[in-house]
Amino acid sequence: MTEPLIEVHDDATALATAVAGALVARLADAQERGEEPQVALTGGSIADQLHHQLTRLGNDHGTDWARVVFWWGDERFVARGSDERNAGAARAAFLDPVGADPGKVHEVPAADEVDDVAAAAAAYATTLREHGSGEFEVVLLGVGPDGHVASLFPGHPALDDEGIAVAVTDSPKPPPQRVSLTFNALNRARTVWFIVSGEAKAEAVAKALAEHPPADPHEVPAAGVTGSVETVWFLDRESASKL
């Protein structure tokens, strides 16, 4: 596993601005190579700021958003029109304004579209196998105060799931039902970017980056992103305060 890279920015706005700039540059490079890069977006509070910065950059920085394939690291199993869906927020604030190709935006099925959360996870896994290149160019992950990433929570059986997408029915973070990429899927990314803001995450960040001894991913899921994956921690001063 490569050593994690760490960037510390003044505040959440500077953090989101830095991630947006890095993302458009990386995707433009991939497109220069003739690739159609795959990105897994995140939910959570930092996502709103990131979407705003990405839309502000628009199409002026080389990335052709219509040639990017979008996924989500996790999604809440709620009705398609619910304010709680990560995809709905991303479409409104970012994907629609920048002109993403709807045929390349792959959402987790909503609660009013399939029978249950297990069916949603199975359908998402099938779509990933059929339309995913098998490797994300970038996976974006928020981190919870308990060190969770996507909807992979400490001590949860989903941490050991051997598939690529897993149903969670008892998320400690509401809403309770979710679909999440698994570590198998996350660890197939070329790079994983953790985007973490605020004092509440400082402990989780310090634990996830601890080396002696390293954190147990069952206790700090953010530490479960391993393998040959490049990892970058985009932090602000508060979330970096215990490093």
What are the phi and psi torsion angles at 83 (to 5°)? -65, -15
Secondary structure of 67-120 as H, E, C letters: HCEEEECEEECCCCCCCCCHHHHHHHHHHHHHCCCHHHECCCCCCCCCCCHHHH
Kindly tell me which residue out of 37, 88, 144, 147 binds ligand 6PG, with binding defined by CB under 6 A. Answer: 144
Kindly tell me which residue out of 30, 46, 185, 223 binds ligand 6PG, with binding defined by CB under 6 A. Answer: 46
Kindly tell me which residue out of 43, 132, 221, 224 binds ligand 6PG, with binding defined by CB under 6 A. Answer: 43
> Cβ 28 to ligand 6PG, closest distance in Å?
25
Under 8 Å between Cβ of 207 and 144: no
Nearer to ligand 6PG, 150 or 166 (CB): 150
Residue span 148-187 as binding mask against ligand 6PG, x where in contact by CB under 6 A, dash where not: xxx----------------------x--------------
What are the phi and psi torsion angles at 46 (to 5°)? -70, -25
Of residues 70, 71, 68, the one with CA closest to residue 37: 68
Residue type, 40: A
**Contact flag: residue 44 with ligand 6PG (CB under 6 A):** yes
Task: Give, as ranges, the residues between 180 and 239 that touch ligand 6PG (CB under 6 A).
Answer: none
Render 130-183 in DSSP notation, one character per residue: HHS-SS-SEEEE-B-TT--BTTB-TT-GGGG--SSEEEES--SSSSS-EEEE-H
Kindly tell me which residue out of 74, 107, 161, 238 binds ligand 6PG, with binding defined by CB under 6 A. Answer: 74
Kindly tell me which residue out of 86, 177, 182, 239 binds ligand 6PG, with binding defined by CB under 6 A. Answer: 86
> Cβ 195 to ligand 6PG, closest distance in Å?
8
Q: Which residues pair with 169 in a beta bridge?
A: none
Nearer to ligand 6PG, 43 or 88 (CB): 43
Binding site for ligand 6PG (CB under 6 A): 42-46, 73-74, 76, 86, 142-144, 148-150, 173
